[in-house]
Amino acid sequence: MAVKLEQQTNLSGDGKLANQGFGKLSDSELEAFNPKIDLERACAFFREFGYVVLSDCLNPQEIEHLNEFYDRTQKQHPEKWGLEGNRKPHHRHQGLIFSQPLLDYPELDPYTQHPSSYPVVSELLGGDECVRFSEFNFRETPENAGLGAMNFHHDAVREDRFERMPYYPCDWLCAIHYLTDVGQGAPAFCVVPASNRFKTLKEAHESLEEHYSEVPIYGAAGTCILYDTAIYHTRYDGDGVQRRRTWHQYYARGGWLRTDTKYIRSPSPVLTDWNLFPKRLALHPDESTRRFFSHWNTAQCEWVASDFDDTLRDAMPRGHQ
């Protein structure tokens, strides 16, 4: 069953805010799908628009646990969040980011294939054997942080997306879970529906014509947004006062796609050159878990070859984040 979420009025008239798109905010109600009973309709919506909103994906206990994790690790290891004044380049203008919490916190392992959102991810990428883990991080826009500018952009893309038939499954998919309520004035995630097949936002604006819209997504803690990384999106400017916490997880498509007679698409490339998977997951005794964590970059290969030497990890980018 789909539920309706409130839309935000346009905040772009304030000159202090980022230059975020064309200011054409959607005035229609936004659908959110319960993945436990509406998986097929949720997938159909994603394939049409390049994103989908899933309601109530995290239960109250999980929301409490993840927020407690934020509080605990920010107090015990502020450097992992960039809270000690020595801000990392990848933290600037993006609030706080804990880049690689899975490396040291096995308590987070159950979230990597969450029973609410993961079945939708699996269906969209072609089944469990085709889903590969790419990245897991936590982000926060702190309370009273001021206005943080972020313009529309897309994440990793493959150029063949403009010509291939069929387009789906997509190459990479991201899941953003809200860990705090995101209402009016909060820095909501914002998408341009069906913009994943255009080279620029301007091209999407001109080609989609009256169907072009910018959709800030508001919802309660526990809401999940899945999006094709090729879609144009941003963190919408809020009022500079409200806090927002989000968990971001990226997935890649593994395995070769083929017709009856030939291979037509290779697996998605690795998403980053720095992301590492801990030994307990990369060499897990369960075959399906090993496959899920098998999308290794060169840094991971070198770390495995060193038998997961901590000194090598320490020398790598974001090795402690």
In-domain check, residue 289: no
Residue carrying the six token digits 């919802």: 219
Question: How confident is the prediction along the chain (321 residues), in pLDDT tens digits per residue?
Answer: 444 343 333 334 344 445 788 888 887 778 999 999 999 999 999 999 999 999 999 999 999 999 999 999 999 999 899 887 665 554 455 689 999 999 999 999 999 999 999 999 999 999 999 999 999 999 998 888 777 778 899 999 999 999 888 899 999 999 999 999 999 889 999 999 999 999 999 999 999 999 999 999 999 999 999 999 999 999 988 888 899 999 999 999 999 988 777 778 899 999 999 999 999 999 999 999 999 999 999 999 999 999 999 999 999 888 776
The 3-class SS string of 129-160 reads HHEEEEEEEEEEECCCCCCCCCCCECCCCCHH
Classify 3 as helix, strand or coil: strand
pLDDT recorded at residue 246: 97
In-domain check, residue 280: no
Of 129, 234, 95, whose CA–CA distance to 176 is shortest?
Answer: 234
In-domain check, residue 62: yes
Q: With beta carbons less than 8 A apart as the criterion, state whether 132 and 300 touch.
A: no
In-domain check, residue 142: yes
Residue 79 amino acid letter: E
pLDDT recorded at residue 85: 65
pLDDT recorded at residue 94: 63
The 3-class SS string of 93-123 reads CCCEEECCHHHCCHHHHHHHHCCCCHHHHHH
Classify 285 as helix, strand or coil: coil
Q: How far apart are CA 167 and CA 231, in angstroms?
A: 13
In-domain check, residue 298: no
Q: With beta carbons less than 8 A apart as the criterion, state whether 229 and 155 touch.
A: yes
Is 56 exposed, middle or buried (CB count within 10 Å of its CB: 0-12, 13-18, 19+)?
middle
pTM above 0.95?
A: no
In-domain check, residue 314: no
Q: Give the H or E element holding residue 175.
A: strand 172-178
In-domain check, residue 188: yes
- Give the domain extent around 243: 2-267
In-domain check, residue 315: no
Q: Give the H or E element holding residue 235.
A: strand 233-235
Q: How many structural domains are present in the chain?
A: 1
**Distances from the Cα of 151 to the Cαs of 94, 253, 268, in angstroms?**
11, 27, 26
pLDDT recorded at residue 21: 84
**In this structure, what CATH number is given to the domain that contains residue 35?**
2.60.120.620
pLDDT recorded at residue 10: 38
